[in-house]
Structure 1
Amino acid sequence: MSLLTLALLFLAGFAGGFIDAIAGGGGLIAVPALLASGVPPQVALGTNKFQACFGTGIAVWRYARAGLMKTPCLWLAVVLSGLASMGGAIAVSVLSKEVLKQLIPWMLAAVAVYTALNRHFGIHTGPRRMPWLTFAILFGIALGFYDGFFGPGVGSFWTVALVALLGLDLRSATGYTKAANLASNVGALAIFLVNGSVHFVAGGVMIAGQLLGARLGSGMVIKRGAAFIRPVFLTVVFVMTLKLLWDAWRG
């Protein structure tokens, strides 16, 4: 790879880490950047998981220090998400993604509409509509498997579920989401590593950008809270929806 390509991958890692720490969706930047650099699709997915683990890890560490990971049964959601993502990554080779490619954009569009219409979404804590244990088991398995199998929008689905069903504010929901995301990233990465689907040079350069971007992004969340997260979250979901609809239409 040329120095220019590596420099662009560093910037993509920085931007992806910054956005991912706040609202998820960093893969929207990282995966296209890897594909544009000439990395094969399967290797691009594996390399994205590789570099994302480091940025998400920094965000998780900072959120934990800020006290945003004290929710009951979070450890169970993390463990199940990691294990389920390994199953999802294995299933990639035997199951078709075509239905998901058609369905997920519309699910994300529903998330965007729901969030936009609910002006107080995640600004303050709300009523809990599901037991902590049930939530951890159900969503840990379902969203962990989805992240390993396909992935786009998983952070958005975690955030909406946490706010709507557990009554968390967006600040606390972001901490929970990043912990679960880190587990599913690590689980899926293990399978990609076994299959040799990681470009370590590209991934290493992006990790440098990820660490810086994730540190800055998580700092913004900790300092500015839910009022800052909401518009970023909506923007990321909207852009992700448009991109996936375009991909589905073009395909």
Structure 2
Amino acid sequence: MLDLWVLVALGGVGIVAGFVDAVAGGGGLIALPALMSVGLSPVAALATNKAQSVVGTFAAAITFWRGGYVVLRTLIPGIIMTFVGSYAGALVVKAIDTSALSVAVPVAIVAVALYFSFSPSIKDVDRIAKLKFAIFVPVIGFIIGFYDGIFGPGTGSFFMLAFVALFGLSATRASAHTKVLNVTSNLAALALFIPAGDVVWSAAAAMAIGQIIGGYLGALTGIRFGAKIIRPLVIVVSIALAIRLIIFS
């Protein structure tokens, strides 16, 4: 049983993590170490992080949706395939060797940071898509969802890159679409974690309260400032995540 003041502190962490996650993704960079620092095992920390982060991500997704930055009916096939991919990845993770991902993923995340650093296309206006949205969003959703089920770090960055580089969305609309599919992949993982009893619900509830506040404020900030804040925060979060994966792999 976690102490009351520990839960209060975790609630504060949830606010910060929810804000960062709503704008650029990568809130787990903040939440996971905090959960492990209060004594949770790696599996319990991962499961609890999914349970608390899905609340903040959902709050952010709703805020973006109410602002008109995402049309849910166009994402239904992508939502379905992201859920299927994430659930499938979580099912097979124990049967395969994922050690190579600890090397490959940081390289890919750095590539995301470089793209957002130097590409002139990261703006607050939509561009012409390179791929047909209705056909390829479900494909991308399944692939990134599968990766999220197996490994996880950088999922939001990869979704952001896909929506900007492949589907021509503005930075704000890309962030909005990313939040919807992130909620989906987290729910798929929770469909396995919850029955297994891996979630520490007191910690998840405390952080979820903070996540609602942080996710709402982060989404409003992303809507207000657009690419001016989304672009640099994606870069910073991506580099920080890559460094963390390299050091602790």
What TM-score range do you get, normalising by the shorter chain?
over 0.9
1:109-120 superposed matches below 5 A:
109-120=110-121
**AA matched with 2:234:** F
User: Which position in structure 2 is the counterpart of 1:172?
Assistant: 173
Q: Pick which of 109-118 and 205-214 moved more.
A: 109-118
Structure 1 position 107 matched with structure 2 position 100: no
1:18 match = 19
- One-letter identity of the residue aligned with 2:233: V
Q: CA deviation at 1:190?
A: 0.8
1:96 paired with 2:133, answer no
| SS at structure 2 position matched to 1:93 | helix
- 1:207 match: 208
Counterpart CA distance in 2 for 1:135 and 1:122 is: 22
Indicate if the aligned counterparts of 2:79 and 2:138 stay in contact, CA closer than 8 A: no
Counterparts of 1:120 and 1:227, CA distance in 2: 13
User: Residue 92 of structure 1: SS of its match in structure 2?
Assistant: helix
Q: Which residue of 2 aligns with 1:28?
A: 29
Q: After alignment, is 141-150 or 70-79 more displaced?
A: 70-79
Deviates more, 1:3-12 or 1:192-201: 3-12
Letter in 1 for 2:5: L
**Which residue of the partner structure matches residue 150 of structure 1?**
151
Q: Which runs of 5+ in 2 are unaligned?
A: none
Q: Distance in 1 between matches of 2:131 and 2:234?
A: 23
Instruction: Assess if the C-alpha contact under 8 Å between 2:172 and 2:230 holds in 1.
Output: yes
> What is the aligned partner in structure 1 of residue 39 from structure 2?
38
TM-score by length of 2: 0.95
Shift of 1:243: 0.9
Provide the aligned length of Structure 1 versus Structure 2: 248
Question: Does the residue aligned with 2:203 lie in a helix, a strand or coil?
Answer: helix
Aligned partners of 1:52 and 1:71: how far apart in 2? 20
1:216 corresponds to: 217
Kept in 1: contact 2:52–2:205 (CA 8 A): yes
Q: Which runs of 5+ in 1 are unaligned?
A: none
Residue of structure 2 in register with 1:189 after alignment: 190
Contact 1:78-1:183 at 8 Å conserved across structures:
yes
SS at match of 1:152: coil
Match of 1:242 in 2: 243
**Superposition pairs of residues 56-135 of structure 1, within 5 angstroms:** 56-70=57-71, 73-135=74-136
Aligned-residue offset at 1:81: 0.7
Paired with 1:72 and 1:111, the residues of 2 have a C-alpha distance of 28
